[in-house]
Structure 1
Amino acid sequence: MVNIENKDNNSKDIDLISLREASDISRYTPEYLNLLSRQGILRAKKIGRNWYTTKEWLAELIDHKVERARTIRNKKIEELDREAQAQKNLGKDEEAGINEIQNQQSNISILPESAEAKFNWSGLMASILATAIIIPFFAVGNYLLHKYDWKNYLLGKIQGVSNIRNYEPLKIYNENFEEGIVLGEETGTATGNEFAKSENYKLKQINLGGDIILASSFDNVPLQIEEIKSEPIISGSTNASKTNQKDKSDGSKILVSWKTNKLSISEISYFRNGSTESKSISEKSYGFNHSVILSELEEGASYVYQIKCKDRWGNEKASNYFGIITASKPVSVFDLISGAMNETFGWAIKK
């Protein structure tokens, strides 16, 4: 909580709370409250790069949202009532029309018996004539059905539709996407095709056609660490002396890579299994893809590492502990042959 002096209101103190504290009190996320603060919907003060509000201002926002939702609900109920009344009136009109037709039919005079019999004979002849016309169409259709191989034709069409899966989807890529360069409020005006790049991107105008403004799903998802991979780096050389000299100076190395679903900065801490001394490496920029090389490790030893990530809103996520065994020092083929010769014929050389 931040306490500042408000010179506009008789020098009274205002107890400001951060958006994260406001998120704990209300049901809104810090990202959504930040958006409302920048749009002026939530009364807040910007101190440095962060927004602060008060409990009274937060209560005003919640009351405004509740009243707006109640108004929208009442309008919906009124529209449903009008539609129900219109349907009811339409049903009455249709019923009146049916009664009128029945009354008109009841006034039609009954034909004589001979005329009725003649009408029935006419209907029978019409049925026979229609049957005689339809039968040839069925015969032609049956002939075409047996002449052409419709089964293979349809299977070919289905196969063509299934091949659509082999096409690669359209990729929206930007050269700065993997580097984690954030454009917007702190770094200037964003230009070009910056798809899903900045959480502080500013639009010149927004036309809203709905009733509620919601934060994007990308901002509301929790921070996750995914696709953690680690593999030893084996460096070799044709000259055995150079290889041994390099291994003594650099030691064994391990490449660790991982991904995050949001722009974040990461830190990896590692230590040898059974040792209390721990080392850590931190990133300097935000990004989605992360990788680091752990160098100067002992050969053939087991190490344990853990990854911690932090996004721009202060949300933190720590991974489980992972273990890996470093690679042994590479040995030249000539050294192996020489060693085997010494073990086999060493007794002759000594004599």
Structure 2
Amino acid sequence: MSSIKGIAILGAGLFAKEAHLPALAALGDAAPPLKAVYSRSQQSSQSLADAAIASLKLATPPSVYYDGDASSNLDALLARSDIAAPAIVLQALAAGKHVLSEKPVAPDVAQGLDLIKTYKELYQPKGLIWRVAENYEAESGYRKVGEIIRSGKIGDVIFFKSVVVNYIDKESKWYKTPWRTIPDYQGGFLLDGGVHTVAVLRVMLPHAFTHLSGFASLNKDYLKPHDTIHTVVKAGDHFHGISEMTFACPTKSRPNADAFVITGNDGWVSVNNVNIPGSDKPIIRIVVKSVVKVEGQPEQEAEETIDVPSQGVLAEQQSFFDALEGKDDGLNLGDPFAALADVAFIQAALNSNGKLVDLTKLLEGKTE
């Protein structure tokens, strides 16, 4: 049973209904009670409240907050003493609340650096916890790949490749999310979805990226400002790799390609999301091929396949709630600066136009 008084969900989008509510339901009594929901409009806030009642089987419905009335707006919600962790940043922190905010951590690196600086100077010393809800970094399957690589099973990493191919049309529920259709928002789908891919690479690879060169393009006008990026990335003197991301696939069917392949000098590992027939719960499938060396015999290959259930949102919520109760799981999930490194990758890819970008300097605020 959680000792936290209660939480609020701020924002009534698809992910709140389709991911956060089911994760809270799965946690059961381990999750704090949902006391309130907020959205800009009364209709969308009420819709989330209704979904919460059904998903969480609530005997007492969450309070509904929305703009337009001083008694029911965001300030009124934040004034409640029984709300521990609404998902908003500075306004919530200023109200003395812990925060689990959705990714990306900020629209760009400069704003992210300012946000993190303010948190560290004003709110972290007060014991307030702020984490970024990057559910891909919380996936135990991706973290398992990191453990495999660090164990030396494929030797030292020498190169990698990541491929993300998505089809988005105007009827997609994700396209109809208003902010993604605003062309002046850096990257659109590439920022929103791309940080997930970078977070996966960050969790699996043994060294951080230091340099990037790439190109961005727009292939479907309604996905402005960009829908595709291709990059070559370097991690110091350790290894390099290629990352491609597109939301402009011309067909719903996609070409066959592994999502991630990491190659070492003694083997390789591939990683894919797999949907099992008859199940609505995807898995992360890991295939490891390694060289077996026995003195006096020809080299042979060993293969291992590992299937891990996908439960990233549940894992990130559980870790956050544990942190609020003073428990440290040692995973360092939701670190805002790590999440900002994901944004820096996408920002560099969007702006590089073939020029080499020093990611370390970018994250220090020394270059664009």
Output the TM-score relative to the length of structure 1.
Answer: 0.19
Does 1 or 2 have the higher relative contact order (CA < 8 Å, sep 6+)? 2
Q: Relative to total residues, which structure has the larger helix share, 1 or 2?
A: 1
Q: TM-score, normalised by structure 2?
A: 0.18
